Chains A and B, each alone.
Chain A
Amino acid sequence: MIDIITAVLVLFGGLFSLVAALGVLRLPDVWIRMHASTKAGTLGCGLILVAVAVHFGDTGVVARAVAAIVFLLLTAPVAAHMIGRAAYRSGVPLWEGTKIDELADDERKKAVERAAEAQRTTEEARRGKPTG
């Protein structure tokens, strides 16, 4: 029975890993690819680690497998967030089908405000110079 459960977990883990890699290869831009690799990859890896825990059934092995799964679940989002931020800041182009880019709207608003501020200061300086 334990063998059958392990077999099912191992199969699903391999399947999810394959789906993750397929997504990373086929999807259109960095963030969408990351979405495949982070979630499906973590799930596949976690399922195989659960399979290890079920297969050995030993306290030490179960503890190590659970520790590995917890570590994976904690670090995958952090790593994905850092890559995503780095990609956005380094100006990687978004997929052309992207509809909403709130960060860019925000940045544009800030840039417009900054430009208006600069305009105001230069105009004040120009107005101040001939008289002063």
Chain B
Amino acid sequence: MTETGAWLLGWAVDISFVMIMMAMVLAFLRLGLGPTLPDRVVALDLITMLAVAFAALFAVSSGQEGFLDVAIALALIAFLATVAFARFAERRVVRIAAAEEGASVDKPGGETTGEPDSKEPPA
């Protein structure tokens, strides 16, 4: 019973490794394809989550419980990375909008003095 159990566990761990690696490949495809930045952030989030699962699975397969610590540390970093990327994606848009506004309002007025602001609506 214990031998068949151990055999079954080894088999299941191997199958699961294969599935997680296939999942990693699919997530990397989305990371490369992703038409927008949030798509890539989602793919990166999934990749780190799969890496956490991989580290935990490796703890089972190798019998070394230290790999669980790797999984925990990776989960912490994954959260911070995702939050940072999300904030970056949000603030980048604000910055681009501000830059465009500054380019269309401030710069023509500041650099080409004397030119009338043709875009101003007649009051």
Chain A residues at the B interface, C-beta cutoff of 8 Å:
1-4, 6-8, 10-11, 13-15, 17-18, 20-22, 24-25, 30, 33-34, 37, 41-42, 44-45, 48-49, 51-52, 55-56, 58, 60-61, 64-65, 67-68, 71-72, 75-76, 78-79, 82-87, 89-92, 122, 125-126, 129
Contact = CB atoms under 8 A, between A and B. Distances in A.
Nearest to B72: A68
Nearest to A82: B86
Max chain B CB contacts within 10 Å: which of A45, A84, A85, A122?
A45
A3 B41 contact: no
A64 B83 contact: no
Interface in B1-32: 1-2, 5-6, 8-9, 11-13, 15-20, 22-27, 29-30
Contact of B71 (A10, A22, A49): A49
A1 B5 contact: yes
Contacts of B59: 52, 56
Interface of B: 1-2, 5-6, 8-9, 11-13, 15-20, 22-27, 29-30, 36-39, 41-43, 45-46, 49-50, 52-53, 56-57, 59-60, 65, 68-69, 71-72, 75-76, 79, 82-83, 85-87, 89-90, 92-93, 123
A126 B123 contact: yes
A7 B12 contact: yes
Nearest to A6: B9
A126 to B, nearest CB: 7
18 contacts: A2-B5, A10-B16, A11-B15, A13-B57, A20-B46, A21-B22, A33-B42, A37-B45, A45-B50, A45-B53, A52-B59, A65-B68, A72-B49, A76-B49, A82-B82, A82-B90, A83-B82, A85-B90
Max chain B CB contacts within 10 Å: which of A22, A48, A51?
A48
Nearest to A89: B90
Contacts of B57: 10, 13-14, 48, 51
Main SS at interface, chain B:
helix
A67 B92 CA distance: 34
B50 A52 contact: no
B89 A45 contact: no
A7 B56 contact: no
Given A25-B26, A85-B90, A126-B123, A17 B38 contact: no
A-B pairs, top 8 by smallest CB distance, nearest first, are A14-B16, A3-B5, A21-B23, A7-B12, A87-B38, A14-B19, A82-B86, A86-B90
